[in-house]
Structure 1
Amino acid sequence: MRNYIPILTFFLFCHSVLAQQAASVSGQITEATSGAALESVNVGLQGTTLGTTTDAQGNFLLSGIEPGNYNLVISSVGYTTISRGIKLNAGETLTFNLQLRSGATELQEVEITGRKETTYQNSVSFIGSKTATPLQDVPQAVSYVTKEIIQDQQAYRTSDIVKNLSGVNQFSYYDDYTIRGFRNGSTQSNLINGLRSVGIFGPQPLLTNMERVEVIKGPASALFADVNPGGTINYVTKKPLDEDRKSIGFTIGSFNTLRATADFTGPMNESGTLLYRLNLGYEDTDTFRDLQQKTTYIIAPSISFLPTDKTSVNFDLVINRYQGKLDRGQPIFGASAGDDLNSTPTSFALGQANDYHKNNVQYFTLSLNHRFTDALSFNASYMKFSWNEDLFEHRTSNRFAVDSLGNQIPTQMEMQTINRIRKQVADNLTTYFVLNGSTGPLQHQLVVGFDYIQQVQPAGGAQARSFGYRTIDGGVASGYDPSQSQFFRFENGMPVPNVPHFNLENPNYTIGYPNEYLVNSNLPQPATRYFTYGFYVQDQISLGKFQALLALRQENYRDVVGYKTEEEELVKQEKLLPRIGLVYELNERINLYGTYTESFQPQTASVLQDPNVGGPFDPLSANMWEAGIKSTFFNELFSVNLAIYRIEQNNILVNANNAGNPDLLEQRGQERAKGVEIDVIGNPLPNFSLNFNYAYNRAEITESDNEEEIGRIKENAPEHQGGIWAKYTFAKGIFSGLGISLGSNFVTERNTFDTYSIVDGVPLGLTLPSYVVFDAALSYRVNKFNIAANFNNLLDKTHWVGGYSYTRLYPDAPRNFLLSVGYTF
């Protein structure tokens, strides 16, 4: 932070010097019927970054405005937006006293219409309580990134923006992250508008159509069923607005990157009861990784129907197509050659020229809100999510080649091929009633609901694999056994691999011919199905400065073994999940909170029913205690959230290391994470935007039958990480319209899965080094055009964002740039 103080001081100095010639707008906003002053009303100049909100007396002041013609826009949730053309002369102050009338776009219980704000800050979220609740009143930490940060950083995928989220760390190139030290995994489903998607192995979701990305920290099973104990990622799609906004953008950059985006929204009829939004995105890039070219496009229309002031409906459709290769990461020389992460270039990838990975993702969402009375409403949302995968790849077998004696060759990688076709479909329905009422001095918001989630892998998929070593009888063995060497083929004194080894010292990218390999297995992908449903009740109780959130959910998980076969069997796992949260309003700007919540992650049916693995096993269970402070400043334009937490996870399955049964598992151990997080976000000055985050987290194994594991830090769980992104835009003078952004993020050392022992309390194995990366951006807005240049990894720091082992590490990009031009109309 010390390095940024002179820059901030310079900006403030320029602001004060030029302010003397600037114009101002002031006034008061009241409610049309009662005449009462309205607080937190948004006041801004369309097409600029100038904006503010009204104070408790309804007053506002916009200062530092360059003389000229503007469109003054006054908006607030639940009221009709006012737009008025104004002309400002040098040194002039215009005063307006305006009244707002109630409108159809009142505070939503299901997010039907879009967020109008154009700042880094978001004040209301649905993820914390399933109703529109100010984040200040949610008794649990929620981190988020709005579309404004996404735009300013020219981010295109989730991995581009996790540096803005405290306690969230990238694990690999897939949709795969560590949250508070616990891995959500590439197959762990995320949420879209609070509804369950399919856990996709491979491409990350594009951000073209996202309003914000938010993470509710810690267990959230009481809200969303079986989810990760560290936290849950929720993607909120852009919804239609009741005002016309249209923009297009084009981007070029390093690695032959070409992008195009479009965002159109507004009313479709004069009455404003039918709204639309259309988001389009396209990308073609080579990336900094060898062989990893990819082409992606997205089409995302959305329609909102507001037939009456009591009923609203929204429909979203997203079609996403991806074609590229599945990047398995950077391999390095094996452990016997030393722990040199630079033994191969960070651009180095395994594979062949004819590998491919095609993904088709499409989902649609239908949401309904109907208000029977001012006190009672009904809400329902349904999402159908479908994913098709077509994969052919040459990839590592996750082990190095061996010589005739079985000794590892650290510069030769054992390879395999996988050809896979599959489809997965998810259905997610959530329905609930909201009742507002009181019992004596207590105010209640009661939520009673039912959720149903189903995921199916239909018949018709298949997977073929080729790997291992050739035998003298013309067959193939899964691995080479030097004690049985007489049964294996040899060339030049070395066992013959089924798929040729990959030379890490002298890579050779050619066209691979699958017909030259023997197929170890060619099996249909089994039809699978699981479904889970839950009944829940939640009460948000208010009494003076105290608020309590009490919730209870009965979860019923069902896994179908032998789906669509004669042996079909239903496996049941059930859990009662509590959630308790308290909020105390210390003053009008500061809230204190505390919470206790639990998580539930069932074991899969294949594990429960397999006699070779032992069992039966209990579901994974976790609990969290959390306390914190949430505060706002500068008329709620700036927020600070501080959280302290403790998470415990139990019933982790590990291999029993039984020589007679290598598949035997045992359930033991406990993992614990303790930490502190802080998020600072908003606009402390009209032209100054800031996002700052820091997290300290110690995630370690606390109980284990293997004493060497106790005290070991979990994989890819850094103890310290954080970041800052600051933007200042000049509003007047010769630099008017110029924006300057500076950013930096750091992550400390992390373990990989190759941390295999502890000596004198020190873990031995492969670790990923700490890093600090700096970014910067320049932008210039003139009339309706915006030109921006982003420079990432300014100092060209070689670093790794995640990794599994010597065979698969995940380096980040070297120094690179993006240049974009956008037009708003």
Structure 2
Amino acid sequence: MRLIIFTILASICIFNSILAQSGSITGIVKDENNNHLMAATVLVLENNIGTTTDENGKYSINSIDEGTYTLRVSYLGYEPVEVTVDIISGKETQQDIALESADNTLQAVEIIGRRARTYKNAVSFAGTKTATLIKDIPQAISYVTKEIFADQQAYRIGDIVKNISGVNMFSGYDDFTFRGFRSGSSDSKMINGLRTVGIFGPQPILTNMERVEVIKGPASALFANTQPGGTMNYVTKKPLDESRKAISFTVGSFNTLRATADFTGRMNEDGSLLYRVNLGYEDGDSHRDLQKNKTFMIAPSVSFIPTKNTRINFDLVISQYKGKLDRGQPIFGATSGTDLTSTPPSFAIGEANDYHTNNVQYFTLSLNHQFSSRLSFNSSYMRFTWDEDLFEHRTSNSFALDSAGTQIPTLMGMQVINRVRKQVSDNLTNYLVYKVQTGKISHQWVAGLDYIQQTQPIGGGQSIARGYRKKDGNITTTYNPSDADNYVFENGLPVPNIPHFSLENPQYNVSYPHEYIFNVKQSYSPTKYYTFGAYLQGQLSIDRFKVLLALRQEFYRDVLNFKQPSEDKVKQEKLLPRLGLVYDITENINVYATYTESFQPQTSSILLNPELGGPFDPLSARMWEVGSKNELIQDRLSLNVALYRIEQNNILVNANDPSNPDLLQQRGQEVSKGIEIDVMGNILSNLSVTANYSYNDTRITESDNEEEIGRIKENAPFHQGGFWTKYTMNSGLLKGLGIGIGSNFVTNRVTFDTYTLGLKLPGYVVADAAVYYKVDRFNISVNFNNIFDKTHWTGGYSYTRLFPGAPRNYLLNVAYTF
């Protein structure tokens, strides 16, 4: 330890002595009205060294070799400025900059990347399908930028949802709760506003992400069939018209090893061709037994700007995840109480040679063409492909049975699943944007057509081995004690097809498919659904009022037995309105109100099966929301507050009919209501903060089963929130040293076993901290997560499947920019 401390101190002294031989540049950035601009970006183009201005508009860049350089200063809403400066060794060069307001600084679609390097993001393209200031959108939109990813050393989407109000983990998968409602597979997730395939299992990594946005509440008026609680939009990094290059290496707990690279800049002198390449690699274990992560990602992006009126962008992402599918922590059965630590939180069930491989490829092509100052055309297409190869030993979601059919709480029933499948999604969106001024009213109209298609091609299938063995060699789904004489027994217990797993004395072996009798074999029939919609949206502004009016007609088609002789099609249609109003109390304080609806069609496999009790109406939801959006400290800090009520109707549930166990019925209504608060940005130029809090109450309000009325929805806590702040010394002997601290909390949650067996997940508070040191182009950081080693559960289903959070751990990162 002494050697490490001595090495660090010696390195700092050496760096300081090197810096003393260079020159520096300092100055003040102002606007045309002589106002100081805080957090403007100042960059030396030749060596890519940069900084941001403080609350007085002042900047300072040290350790620049003698020579002539180009200084670029940029700030949202202002035209960037480039000036030539001469640096003299041992001297400080003074260079003040004045920026002029830009009439039109927002792209129509996000083809060129975001230059800002702060926690705050001002613009959303997904909230209205046009580049609109978030404060002018009459609906809550939360986000997390890549700067927060870096400061928290977040690598997966699950690492950063704690920064978003009203969002928490439902399980350990790519599976969340938005405002009390569970996210769906593919109808709550977008990439650049385009629909993905719903991947079950591994969470997306953040290597190529610029930010993650959550559009709160129904978003069907924008994106067709969506979940009522919210829609998550992943915004990928786009090329920049300035050179930035960075590499980083990370090691840490659980044998973690990561490497990333991010290169961007011009490919030709005039800047008409830009590029960006993101690379990511990870190899590590987990805080969960047996679990391993091995991922890689290659993500190139090219922007072509042949004229000032035409912009084209192409993104390609190739990624692979190799590991095991973590089915969660099982605990002793309900007959032994609800002790969540009856097994260690690290405890997992499986075999040593289980595997789960996921390959994801997607590419996006986007076009923006400006016909005139009033009319533009936008088009985007994305093809998303996912294939899965799975072999796993997992629970049967039940405990072993003795000869009398009674559960044995320390022995877990097991099954083996071998699965191969592929899914492909195609998205195409085309729309025109028309801007016009009529008297005092400014109009922006959007008219468009969307097409979404998802298919599962022929060739997929799965085999399942489970149940109990009978003397005649057959396998039954479960053990029937009234027919005990026909079952095989060993040590007084009915013999399962897959050996039971002991929770008291776990054994991990190497097992293969030929050892089991696969009594369930299923070939996946080709499937297809497609939906197309036409919409019209108007954004009108007069004095301090802004009005958003939108209407979308959706045509949904689900094909059963696709490409088979018995092919059949289900048609479902919906007219979706959206109405919002924004009022500017002051230049920096807005209040808003909104009403919007969503729908989710029932699948053809349900609607065309008469034994299930249909026909059924589509799921529908509507939301009322009011709130305030505030820009503070010279627009460097945002404070957003939202109050909402969401009603979801026509939820399908099992009818609990003994004569027809598959019979379904529609539950009347579920209601979510609450309040959310989000704060993010810079208090000072060297003090960044993100904070959030939400209160949510989501319950069943109407049901034919009176016992259900008033029940709280699963994994929907009443209270949750957190904060993260980073402070960096910008002068003195400790210049470049930074400290980060944060915490997040979640209150108690119910599970699927709460109202039958009494299982609840306890609330928790987790604290994190980090230390940073930046010198010249090097960044060194150490993050300490869960520093008080709090045992906690981020989500869970039942006694057989709980998802513990990570114990105390660390990550050490070294990064270099050039």
Worse-superposed segment, 86-95 or 266-275? 86-95
Q: 2:7 — aligned with what? A: none
Q: Among residues 805, 808, 811, which one is paired with 1:815 in the alignment?
A: 808
CA contact (8 A) 1:186 1:202 kept: no
Q: 1:780 — aligned with what? A: 773
What is the CA–CA distance in structure 2 between the aligned matches of 1:277 and 1:301, rounded to whole Å? 6
Q: Aligned pair 1:63/2:58, yes or no? A: yes
CA contact (8 A) 2:749 2:762 kept: yes
Q: What secondary structure, in the 3-state scheme, does the structure 2 residue paired with 1:753 have?
A: coil
**Unmatched 5+ stretches in structure 2:** 1-23
The 5-angstrom pairing of residues 358-397 of structure 1 reads 358-397=357-396
What is the CA–CA distance in structure 1 between the aligned matches of 2:86 and 2:478, rounded to whole Å? 77
Q: What secondary structure, in the 3-state scheme, does the structure 1 residue paired with 2:753 have?
A: strand
Deviations 1:153-200 (A, max 9, x none): 000000000000000000111110000000004454510000000000
What is the CA–CA distance in structure 2 between the aligned matches of 1:568 and 1:263, rounded to whole Å? 47
The 5-angstrom pairing of residues 311-350 of structure 1 reads 311-350=310-349
Deviations 1:303-339 (A, max 9, x none): 0000000000000000001111000000000000110
What is the CA–CA distance in structure 1 between the aligned matches of 2:713 and 2:691, rounded to whole Å? 25
Percent identity, aligned pairs only?
Answer: 62
What is the CA–CA distance in structure 2 between the aligned matches of 1:289 and 1:733, rounded to whole Å? 44
Q: 1:26 — aligned with what? A: 28
Worse-superposed segment, 140-149 or 181-190? 181-190
Deviations 1:348-407 (A, max 9, x none): 101001110001000000000000000000000000000010000000010111001000
CA contact (8 A) 2:674 2:695 kept: yes
Q: CA RMSD in A?
A: 2.2
Q: What secondary structure, in the 3-state scheme, does the structure 2 residue paired with 1:201 have?
A: coil
Q: What secondary structure, in the 3-state scheme, does the structure 1 residue paired with 2:689 have?
A: strand
Q: What secondary structure, in the 3-state scheme, does the structure 2 residue paired with 1:733 have?
A: coil
CA contact (8 A) 1:475 1:518 kept: no
Sort the Cα spacing of 1:249 and 1:95 in 2 relative to 1 into closer, same or farther, 3 A: closer
Q: 1:421 — aligned with what? A: 420
- Could you tell me how far 1:462 is from its partner in structure 2? 1.3
* Matched residue count: 787
The 5-angstrom pairing of residues 148-187 of structure 1 reads 148-186=147-185
CA contact (8 A) 1:67 1:88 kept: no
Deviations 1:70-103 (A, max 9, x none): 9743124684552554769999894635466989
CA contact (8 A) 1:789 1:818 kept: yes
Sort the Cα spacing of 1:482 and 1:695 in 2 relative to 1 into closer, same or farther, 3 A: same
- Could you tell me how far 1:26 is from its partner in structure 2? 2.1
Q: What secondary structure, in the 3-state scheme, does the structure 2 residue paired with 1:652 have?
A: strand
Q: Aligned pair 1:42/2:40, yes or no? A: yes
Q: 1:693 — aligned with what? A: 692
Sort the Cα spacing of 1:491 and 1:188 in 2 relative to 1 into closer, same or farther, 3 A: farther
The 5-angstrom pairing of residues 454-493 of structure 1 reads 454-493=453-492
- Could you tell me how far 1:493 is from its partner in structure 2? 1.4
Q: 1:448 — aligned with what? A: 447
Q: 1:497 — aligned with what? A: 496
Sort the Cα spacing of 1:600 and 1:88 in 2 relative to 1 into closer, same or farther, 3 A: farther
What is the CA–CA distance in structure 2 between the aligned matches of 1:717 and 1:340, rounded to whole Å? 21
The 5-angstrom pairing of residues 707-726 of structure 1 reads 707-726=706-725
Sort the Cα spacing of 1:39 and 1:249 in 2 relative to 1 into closer, same or farther, 3 A: closer
What TM-score does the superposition give when structure 1 sets the normalisation length? 0.92
What is the CA–CA distance in structure 2 between the aligned matches of 1:637 and 1:36, rounded to whole Å? 18
Worse-superposed segment, 270-279 or 187-196? 187-196
The 5-angstrom pairing of residues 122-133 of structure 1 reads 122-133=121-132
**Unmatched 5+ stretches in structure 1:** 1-21, 54-59, 758-763
CA contact (8 A) 1:23 1:90 kept: no
Deviations 1:265-288 (A, max 9, x none): 000000100000000000001111
What is the CA–CA distance in structure 2 between the aligned matches of 1:697 and 1:512, rounded to whole Å? 45
Sort the Cα spacing of 1:79 and 1:66 in 2 relative to 1 into closer, same or farther, 3 A: closer
CA contact (8 A) 2:27 2:59 kept: no
- Could you tell me how far 1:447 is from its partner in structure 2? 0.1
Q: What secondary structure, in the 3-state scheme, does the structure 2 residue paired with 1:150 have?
A: helix
Q: 2:96 — aligned with what? A: 96
CA contact (8 A) 1:222 1:553 kept: yes
Q: Among residues 776, 796, 801, which one is paired with 2:794 in the alignment?
A: 801
Deviations 1:427-458 (A, max 9, x none): 00011000000233211000000000000000
The 5-angstrom pairing of residues 345-356 of structure 1 reads 345-356=344-355
Sort the Cα spacing of 1:674 and 1:44 in 2 relative to 1 into closer, same or farther, 3 A: same
What is the CA–CA distance in structure 2 between the aligned matches of 1:349 and 1:85, rounded to whole Å? 61
- Could you tell me how far 1:600 is from its partner in structure 2? 0.7
Q: 1:824 — aligned with what? A: 817
What is the CA–CA distance in structure 2 between the aligned matches of 1:154 and 1:83, rounded to whole Å? 35
Q: What secondary structure, in the 3-state scheme, does the structure 2 residue paired with 1:151 have?
A: helix
State the one-letter code of the partner of 2:802. Answer: L
CA contact (8 A) 2:636 2:682 kept: yes
What is the CA–CA distance in structure 2 between the aligned matches of 1:36 and 1:312, rounded to whole Å? 34
What is the CA–CA distance in structure 2 between the aligned matches of 1:27 and 1:696, rounded to whole Å? 41
Worse-superposed segment, 276-285 or 698-707? 698-707
The 5-angstrom pairing of residues 689-768 of structure 1 reads 689-757=688-756, 765-768=758-761
Sort the Cα spacing of 1:602 and 1:420 in 2 relative to 1 into closer, same or farther, 3 A: same
CA contact (8 A) 1:354 1:512 kept: yes
State the one-letter code of the partner of 1:430. Answer: T
What is the CA–CA distance in structure 2 between the aligned matches of 1:97 and 1:246, rounded to whole Å? 25
CA contact (8 A) 1:23 1:89 kept: no
- Could you tell me how far 1:29 is from its partner in structure 2? 4.1
What is the CA–CA distance in structure 2 between the aligned matches of 1:692 and 1:604, rounded to whole Å? 39
CA contact (8 A) 2:738 2:771 kept: yes
State the one-letter code of the partner of 1:160. Answer: D
What is the CA–CA distance in structure 2 between the aligned matches of 1:326 and 1:612, rounded to whole Å? 33
Q: 2:11 — aligned with what? A: none
What is the CA–CA distance in structure 2 between the aligned matches of 1:186 and 1:803, rounded to whole Å? 17
Q: What secondary structure, in the 3-state scheme, does the structure 2 residue paired with 1:380 have?
A: strand
What is the CA–CA distance in structure 1 between the aligned matches of 2:616 and 2:637, rounded to whole Å? 47
State the one-letter code of the partner of 1:213. Answer: V
Q: 1:233 — aligned with what? A: 232
- Could you tell me how far 1:44 is from its partner in structure 2? 2.9
What is the CA–CA distance in structure 2 between the aligned matches of 1:256 and 1:147, rounded to whole Å? 24
Q: 2:52 — aligned with what? A: 51
CA contact (8 A) 1:66 1:732 kept: no
Deviations 1:504-557 (A, max 9, x none): 000000011321211112221111000001000000000000000000000111
Q: What secondary structure, in the 3-state scheme, does the structure 2 residue paired with 1:485 have?
A: helix
- Could you tell me how far 1:61 is from its partner in structure 2? 4.0
- Could you tell me how far 1:24 is from its partner in structure 2? 5.7
Sort the Cα spacing of 1:516 and 1:395 in 2 relative to 1 into closer, same or farther, 3 A: same
The 5-angstrom pairing of residues 536-555 of structure 1 reads 536-555=535-554
What is the CA–CA distance in structure 1 between the aligned matches of 2:90 and 2:433, rounded to whole Å? 51
Q: What secondary structure, in the 3-state scheme, does the structure 2 residue paired with 1:203 have?
A: coil
What is the CA–CA distance in structure 2 between the aligned matches of 1:210 and 1:97, rounded to whole Å? 32
What is the CA–CA distance in structure 2 between the aligned matches of 1:470 and 1:288, rounded to whole Å? 36
What is the CA–CA distance in structure 1 between the aligned matches of 2:132 and 2:289, rounded to whole Å? 46
What TM-score does the superposition give when structure 2 sets the normalisation length? 0.93
State the one-letter code of the partner of 1:26. Answer: I
- Could you tell me how far 1:700 is from its partner in structure 2? 0.8
Q: What secondary structure, in the 3-state scheme, does the structure 2 residue paired with 1:734 have?
A: coil
What is the CA–CA distance in structure 2 between the aligned matches of 1:81 and 1:577, rounded to whole Å? 45
CA contact (8 A) 2:81 2:99 kept: no
Q: What secondary structure, in the 3-state scheme, does the structure 1 residue paired with 2:335 have?
A: helix
What is the CA–CA distance in structure 2 between the aligned matches of 1:187 and 1:507, rounded to whole Å? 36
What is the CA–CA distance in structure 1 between the aligned matches of 2:36 and 2:304, rounded to whole Å? 27
Sort the Cα spacing of 1:697 and 1:359 in 2 relative to 1 into closer, same or farther, 3 A: same
- Could you tell me how far 1:120 is from its partner in structure 2? 0.4
